[in-house]
Amino acid sequence: MTSINEMSKKILVTNALPYANNSIHIGHLVGYIQADIWVRYQKMKERDCLYLCASDSHGTPIMLSAEAIGLEPEALAEQYTKEHSKDFQDFLIEFDNYHSTHTTENETLVGEIFNQLNKSGHIEKKIIEQSYDKRQEIFLPDRYVKGICPQCSTEDQYGDNCEKCGATYKPTDLINPISVLSGETPILKKSEHYFMKLSHFEDMLKKWIPTIDMNDAVKGKLNEWFSMGLKDWDISRDDPYFGFKIPGEDKKYFYVWLDAPIGYLASLKNLASKSNISYEDYFSENADCHLVHFIGKDIIYFHALFWPAVLEGAGLKKPDAIYVNGFLTVNGKKMSKSRGTFIKARTYLNHSKPEYLRYYYAYKTNSGIDDFDLDTNDFEKRVNSDLVGKWINIASRSAKFINKYFENRISQSLDNPELIKTFQEASEDISSLYEKREFGQAMRKIMLLADQANQYLEKEKPWVLIKDELNYEKVHAVCSTAINLFFILMVYLKPVVPNIAKEAEQFLNLESQCWNDINKTILSHKINDYPALLTRIKKEDLELIIKDSI
């Protein structure tokens, strides 16, 4: 397994592509915030790291949704692409490029990769029976058929995989299937389709999986799928369909799950066309690059089996790491509109700061794939206690003395350089936790340091010392020490709360800080007047978020 210290200078990070058929909600944001924190950390370490994404803009659901509201599918996909991009931007998720799968770059790449796979004998045609809705006169996408899981008998499962046991299957395998569109039992109708021979890549995949950075539980799940045998993958869909036509076909289209991951490559191609990067440096077969995918646990099969097989067959670079996140519940329940817990990203942003949620997600997550809960009471207490009560409190308690009594200037010497050294020496441990995506542990270590800083201020009591002019020099050194402690914590927290860190840098009269700046000490330096960097979460704002989500 390749470690960060051993890997090449170039890192390419992608997030799973959001589907351009609905708005982003706070459950989606779990994976994007995790990836953004990790990327920001890499960039603070001054590594060459690119972060790409795009909207997944094809498929029957987009076609049907567009038809229902009188839009062309392209227009609906473009509308959601713009909305998603703005939501990500306002949540401080900073992609180097955000694109769409409905682009000329992607169409060209899909055609080239399909031709390469076909030429190499990895594609074959088969006549199959598919679920067909007679009333709607349409072949049904996998997710438009529901029924009882053929493996564990759980009811109300989609036609491609079971949310409870993780089994993958065909819609025709479901027990008592119904069409989501009409509520009727679909009939079986024959059609000729293109299949990718996934079994051709089984040996390669078994050798490749142990070499990549991926959670052991995920690798265990992949081994279960190997034991059941890898099935040929249907990569075509029948007309009517919104997508790219298969070359040489009039009424056959590439299945969205072929062109969606190729959208990673297309986003890179698009970025390369408007910058000085080289596409080949990242995706050619021998590219000296560390390729990382952040995905949700519902799409493991696609990213850890089908996608690397496509890349292998096309002679392109396979991922070096696949980082999988669990799902989000809200107040102990699955997200629900009736309970007001199906919270859109924009609904949250209308009432609260993105840093609050970014910090809470960081505090609650780790490198595992377990689900986690956003408890609104805990959310309020955690953010108010940690960010405001511990970290920001250090600056607000000490800066006012420097502003008022010392002309905004940090002292020439510090009161407690040993405490500064203790904070700086924590860098290696905290860096390692960021590297391993153990964000929760990192936040806890940072807040333990913040506790020490506040205990230091409580012990020295500059608000008492300042009453006697003979203590001015001591107060100056104590508050300057506290500002330095605040600064170190700011650098540690910067990947998580980048806008607050930026405002803190402006307050400290500093340029943008990198990770190694932790080791410097601020002396004889003029700062600005202290602004209110962050205020407490208000319970009424959280109540409005819930109210507006019903």
* 250-300 pLDDT tens trace: 999 999 999 999 999 999 999 999 999 999 999 999 899 999 999 999 999
Give phi and psi for 320, each to the nearest 5. Answer: -95, -20
* 93-137 pLDDT tens trace: 999 999 999 999 999 999 999 999 999 999 999 999 999 999 999
CB-count exposure of residue 467 (10 Å: 0-12, 13-18, 19+): exposed
Q: What is the fold, at CATH topology level, of the domain defined by 1-122+201-231+256-326?
A: Rossmann fold (3.40.50)
Residue type, 140: L
**C-beta separation of 176 from 200 below 8 A:** no
On the question of a cis peptide bond just before residue 240, with omega within 30 degrees of 0, the verdict is yes
How high is the pLDDT of residue 550? Answer: 86
Domain range summary for the chain, segments of one domain joined by +: 1-122+201-231+256-326, 123-196, 386-519
Residue 167 pLDDT grade (very low, low, confident, very high; cuts 50, 70, 90): confident
Q: What is the fold, at CATH topology level, of the domain defined by 386-519?
A: Isoleucyl-tRNA Synthetase; Domain 1 (1.10.730)
CATH of domain 123-196: 2.170.220.10
**C-beta separation of 260 from 239 below 8 A:** no
CA-to-CA distance for 376 and 189, rounded, in angstroms?
49
Give phi and psi for 238, each to the nearest 5. Answer: -90, 155
CA-to-CA distance for 305 and 299, rounded, in angstroms?
10
* 457-495 pLDDT tens trace: 999 999 999 999 999 999 999 999 999 999 999 999 999
Whole-prediction pTM: 0.94
